[in-house]
């Protein structure tokens, strides 16, 4: 099947996505969500950002996230911190730093358990390196959530190269059914002198790498339509791959034919959820989550960095960073009885019938 970017180009050329009446449908996932509290307040002089949650064997909730010193900025002053609570709603206790450095910024972690080990992937910005402070991807492992964490000798496992548009960031780690280790991540490309975000893939048969960049990247791209997307959270559940993404420049409007051509960037609108049988061809998305304005009646702010807290193999809570005036890192949403979407997206099936594969 053609990759999404070529499929979309063909569809747009036919004018099939200009029929706004059909709309991008709401997913079963978004309908399962009910709002919970805002959590992880910042200490004075710092900014907490994002939340990567995981249960331990005793049922406590651990969160790994970014803390940024307000004297600097995230590209130079972000560190990965570790929190714990008795329940998802908190209160959380800050246990300390996991990765902090004067020569590198550690940012936007995701945590997973693989067998008896824990895996942490993160954005690595070596701001005093010869690479000129280009964003890259690192990985670390531990036998306990309490550490110690050991960085891969291959770090950065995804480098800022011409193949990646000199950019690799915001990784999400997935174990495929065949045991392959996958990292989906943000890359960059240019169109008419402007930079657009895309989603790409790298794979390995070893957790620590090295990772091989997928030769047909990117997997999800709207750069030809001058729109971009970011902040992937990918997972495999009930026989399907899923990816939740921040709709940074109104992909939903693009697909519905209502895009104004000048969207306000960032998570100022509902997020999207994609599904795929093979984790390569992702089809047409559905609405994946709503905004802070929708859930709480607050002034609209950026809801980004989606992560799921899993309990006994089932999705329990969705965690979202929120870039508002509040001091907290973001808020949580309870996932109620979601068992996945349909086997096939009706929109994708319709496109195949039209001969766009």
Average confidence (pLDDT) over 216-220: 97
What is the tens place of the pLDDT at every residue in 266-318? 889 999 999 999 999 999 999 999 999 999 999 999 999 999 999 999 999 99
Number of neighbouring beta carbons within 10 Å of residue 72: 12
Gap between the Cα atoms of 116 and 145, Å rounded: 11
Beta-ladder partners of 93: 84
Does residue 14 surpass a pLDDT of 80?
A: no
**Pick from 41-50, 226-235, 249-258, 343-352: least confident:** 343-352
Residue 16: band (very low, low, confident or very high) from pLDDT cuts 50, 70, 90: very low
Does residue 265 surpass a pLDDT of 80?
A: yes
Residues constituting the chain: 357
Residue 23: band (very low, low, confident or very high) from pLDDT cuts 50, 70, 90: confident
Q: Domain locations in the chain?
A: 4-353
Q: Are 204 and 194 in contact (CB under 8 A)?
A: no
Please tell me whether residue 209 adopts helix, strand or coil conformation: coil
Residue 344: band (very low, low, confident or very high) from pLDDT cuts 50, 70, 90: low
What is the tens place of the pLDDT at every residue in 40-96? 999 999 999 999 999 999 999 999 999 999 999 998 999 999 999 999 999 999 999
Q: Do you find a cis peptide bond into 156, omega within 30 degrees of 0?
A: yes
Residue 294: φ, ψ to 5°: -65, -45
Q: Are 91 and 99 in contact (CB under 8 A)?
A: no
Please tell me whether residue 42 adopts helix, strand or coil conformation: coil
Residue 199: band (very low, low, confident or very high) from pLDDT cuts 50, 70, 90: very high
pTM of the model: 0.91
Q: What is the DSSP letter of 16?
A: G
- The two three-digit tokens of residue 327, written as one number: 């001091």
330: left (phi over 0), alpha (psi -120 to 50) or beta: left
Chain-wide mean pLDDT for the chain?
A: 90
pLDDT of residue 325: 87
Note the CATH number of domain 4-353: 2.115.10.20
Number of neighbouring beta carbons within 10 Å of residue 326: 15
């Amino acid at each position: 099947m053609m990759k999404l970017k070529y499929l979309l180009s063909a569809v747009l050329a036919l004018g099939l996505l200009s029929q706004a009446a059909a709309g991008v449908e709401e997913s079963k996932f978004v309908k399962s969500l009910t709002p919970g509290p805002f959590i992880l307040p910042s200490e004075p002089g710092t900014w907490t950002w994002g939340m990567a949650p995981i249960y331990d064997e005793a049922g406590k909730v651990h969160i790994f996230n970014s803390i940024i010193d307000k004297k600097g900025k995230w590209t130079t002053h972000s560190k990965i911190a570790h929190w714990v609570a008795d329940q998802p709603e908190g209160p959380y206790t800050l246990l300390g730093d996991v990765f902090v450095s004067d020569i590198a910024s550690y940012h936007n972690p995701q945590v997973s358990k693989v067998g008896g080990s824990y895996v942490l992937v993160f954005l690595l910005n070596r701001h005093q390196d010869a690479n000129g402070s280009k964003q890259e991807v690192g990985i670390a492992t531990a036998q306990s959530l309490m550490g110690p964490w050991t960085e891969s000798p291959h770090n950065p496992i995804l480098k800022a190269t011409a193949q990646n548009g000199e950019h690799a960031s915001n990784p999400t780690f997935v174990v495929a059914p065949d045991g392959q280790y996958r990292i989906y991540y943000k890359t960059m490309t240019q169109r008419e002198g402007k930079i657009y975000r895309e989603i790409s893939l790298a794979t390995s048969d070893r957790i620590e790498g090295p990772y091989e960049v997928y030769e047909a990247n990117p997997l999800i791209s709207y750069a030809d339509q001058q729109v971009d997307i970011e902040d992937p959270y990918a997972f495999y559940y009930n026989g399907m791959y899923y990816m939740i993404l921040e709709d940074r420049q109104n992909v939903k409007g693009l697909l519905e034919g209502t895009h104004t051509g000048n969207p306000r960037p960032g998570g100022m609108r509902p997020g999207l959820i994609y599904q795929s049988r093979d984790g390569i061809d992702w089809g047409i998305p559905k609405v994946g989550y709503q905004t802070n304005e929708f859930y709480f009646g607050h002034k609209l702010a950026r809801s980004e960095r989606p992560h799921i807290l899993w309990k006994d193999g089932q999705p329990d809570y969705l965690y979202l960073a929120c870039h508002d005036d509040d001091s907290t890192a973001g808020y949580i949403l309870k996932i109620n009885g979601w068992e996945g979407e349909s086997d096939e997206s009706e929109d994708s099936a319709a496109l195949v019938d039209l001969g766009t594969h």
